[in-house]
Structure 1
């Protein structure tokens, strides 16, 4: 729905955007919802519609250059809808607007509580996480908010054993300052501290919209349900019992820094079971590739991220092609390749590659396109070793580079 709405706003300069939600086929298994987003934007031809819902596809290069985007959002929307027993589609007329729709089968409940930014957050269950997954945690940026020296030492030892990078705040007030100054992936928050307790600190952190998605996990010896409800109401997303149990500590951190906690809190258990990816060995330690950030982009759904990686490594000599286009004056082709690489790099969290591709795109759009050639050389020096290491790491993975491997794409 958010992807449809973002696209509608992007492509509609005037007029209106309408959201319609209808339910049908109610039975014991649930209700089939049909959600549609209609706009009065630029519209699409039949040929353009045929290209949508495929990975890294947009209507044409003019749209890509003017409005940006990678063309991957609709493909992911299609996969998610199919996994939930539904489908996607579009109805459009050029110059008049478009209606993008999807159907999903959902469970009917008497009442529902919607998550809000400063309200309760549902604690997700742990999926099947073991030592083979822990390599993904190496380099995780953790803020430990804890006043007790003994607990600090134990936590630092456990986190450091897996290569996590830990900063310490001895009270909640310091934590509220530190999270604004540094990009942490997760906060482990003690409850009882001098100066400012964990609940108050969490409420203050949640007032900053930029920190809305920062996972804050309570560390508490009090596991009574009323106490845990307080944690969730303050804006925390999970809890870890004291004294620390290493397996629970690692599993909880991994769940939230890869985005899996958000997915498990949103989707029903039967859908999450299809997303399970405990048997995937993700590439780690590859310079220029942020595996955890890539997983967060797809809500921790390992098969989706693996599909993006498989697509990314199958590109040819993109630097040679870019260089050839520039030398021969085919700037339109070079722009298309640079923009596609920028989007694909963003989806796998190869940030440096994406930044270089963006710089090339900027130069190509300027008065002297050949100024892009030195940046293409820089790109080549970075992307060639990254792709070599990725191909070596993914060499044993079955699949053909589809957005989502066949195992996930099937809805049974």
Structure 2
């Protein structure tokens, strides 16, 4: 929701009590639906304001764990009369609100139903013109908590925080103090500049500095440049906070390798990881990886080397993927990264090629006909042991977000795991880690710079978000329409297969079709359609065939909406 909030000039803040475990046992799909509805409403009814998401742990009356979620906005608020109508179907305050902001009024009633299913309660506090706070409580069980075993790794470290607003400053301060840091909140950029008067070095006062571009982008940029020019030891230990939408406006040549970048709203695990990286510490078990600004910004284009040269240098990639759209998009990404690639559409063909000729790396989809990626990896490892062949890196590619998928990949002999949808920056990191020979072989393309077009701020309910395809084609708009046409043809085939399987009560085939449709739709940017396919897949995995069949009835109309969006994009391309 961050891009939508930014579009309406809203600040979005997220605070998760640092005492809450990193993982909880509950229903992620329903929780996600509730939060998307509530935060979506807050963004819809707020302009040039602030939206805060706050999550706290509570103890239930029976001694169990429950969690309080609050979504507060500074928007138009709700009158006392209209508060009584909330959470009822087709009620949206009043008719003028519906005319101005749109919507059906179903979102809050759905939230109440979902919260009831989770055994919780939901409510709202608001005054007209004074914003609104929607809250809900649900029980969940604590699970994995890496912070319980890493202790206070930031103890003894002094960290300065210059945030864009008091809420963000307090949030970061709480997170860092939880892991033992001594922190100082700096009230203004002027105050920070005063700390450098008389040739003083911030590196002598702080072990780490966090600055927020919301304090004034030009002023912060001048300050950072001045510290670097002065040789201040704080420069390589500076974290810069910035809205996600501003990432591509930064010159990667100017900031590459110097600073850590964190997108706003600040995530708990990300600020912990960034601070640890800057301080030279390691936080085992905590997710949310941090990328340097050069990696997050648009990558340069490279010339793809000749296939036989790449093979001779041990830098040729074999890519096994049965979905033609996924294959085409990811191959484009690899080629624009300067990586020579050969493709096959099933595990058997991949196995035949690997036995006959050498490859520097195998990227394989986990779910393919004839031979899946797991069996292929096991065969490759057996071949290497029997024939004393060198170890070839194998990267798993799958849309599965299910618990145990990563472990199953490792058990089959795969080296790493690449979740769909794939972006070029993540793919580039994988190549750098596992195939350095290919990195040494590639050369920058001598062409005009391509800037990746952005199609506005899309969230998790976007009908068509083309950022992944634009990333794959490196800004070449002429390639987008053919890829979308391929996607629609492929999605049509998968939907027909899924619906036929439901009619035949072949739920295994239906699940496989839903899984395939989910993966290719995410890569094409049909986010809402992909989420619907994922929901059907999850119901089928859980054995709830009646709910899966119920959701499958929405597949045809939803695909029609995506097809219409694709057709609209084609017309824009022609015009």
Q: TM-score, normalised by structure 2?
A: 0.30
State the structure with bigger RCO (CA 8 A, min sep 6), 1 or 2: 1
For the pair shown, the structure with the greater C-alpha radius of gyration is 2
Q: TM-score, normalised by structure 1?
A: 0.40
